[in-house]
Structure 1
């Protein structure tokens, strides 16, 4: 019979051990602290356009590489600026923490299409490479209309 500490107890400090077994990086109790006003503001923002990005900085001046990469991918896909809204989380600390709690996603940027959370930069890049992002944006009607070369009229993609 073994009476000593287990290997895990010996190697891992108690404070670290709890981190190893955590289910989420966001404390479930913290979700209670998302105020009704913040929740409503986020819901209003998500409803403001077919394509909504919560990012660090602005589309013209992104403040992190992941936000920059996401903006570039959306531009490459041909998102119509009239159907796009971006929110700078650096301007509002409550928005910055609130959006993470709202989506249960720990990182920024965060993309929403037709009020549905799509993902962060890594997911957007993967979807862009596979063609899934183009399909999603086309189905949502969020792309710049293509100009018909023969007639000069525009048609939605």
Structure 2
């Protein structure tokens, strides 16, 4: 991965409290896993920035190397890699996701578990 790709990924992660690297956009997800994470974040009511990895093959490959995680989507909260779809869903179902947002001072609408 090039230094410029690494810098671009880091800039994206640092640009918002909650960043989702996904296939497609929240309005038009291009995979079911990306759609699930968007739905979870929407249900919780947390504002997030999305990065469409399909728009840039360097970002698509680079984010996997950056996180050392082989799949997309990838969720970042306050610069920290949280995980992919399964981890995000499990955290949502257990209440850990909203607890993380509370701990990090990230406003959201939903406080109850799924």
Q: Same fold (TM over 0.5)?
A: yes
Match of 1:56 in 2: 23
Question: In the alignment, is residue 45 of structure 1 matched against residue 17 of structure 2?
Answer: no
> Which structure shows the bigger proportion of residues in strand conformation?
2
* Cα offset, 1:100, TM superposition: 0.1
- Greater radius of gyration (CA): 1
| Inter-partner Cα distance in structure 2 for 1:144 and 1:130 | 16
Are the aligned partners of 2:44 and 2:98 in contact in 1 as well (CA < 8 Å)?
Answer: yes
Secondary structure of the 1:101 match is helix
Decide which of 91, 99, 102 is 1:135's aligned counterpart: 99
What RMSD over aligned residues (CA atoms) do the two structures have, in Å? 1.3
Q: Which runs of 5+ in 1 are unaligned?
A: 1-33, 147-157
Q: Does 1:88 align with 2:55?
A: no
Q: With a CA cutoff of 8 Å and minimum separation of 6, indicate the structure with the bigger relative contact order.
A: 2
- The alpha-carbon deviation at position 139 of structure 1 amounts to 1.9
How far, CA to CA, are the matches of 2:105 and 2:57 in structure 1? 32
The DSSP-based 3-state class of the residue aligned with 1:90 is helix
What displacement does 1:116 show? 0.2
Question: What residue ranges of structure 2 are gaps of 5+ in the alignment?
Answer: none
**Paired residues of 1:66 and 1:109 also in contact (CA < 8 A):** yes
1:143 is displaced (CA, Å) by 2.2
SS of the residue corresponding to residue 108 of structure 1 reads: coil
Q: Give the Å deviation of 1:144.
A: 3.7
Match of 1:151 in 2: none
Query: For residues 11-50 of structure 1, what are the structure 2 equivalents within 5 Å?
Result: 34-50=1-17
How far does residue 145 in structure 1 lie from its aligned partner after superposition? 6.6
In structure 2, the residue matched to 1:121 is 85
User: Which residue of 2 is the match for residue 111 of structure 1?
Assistant: 75
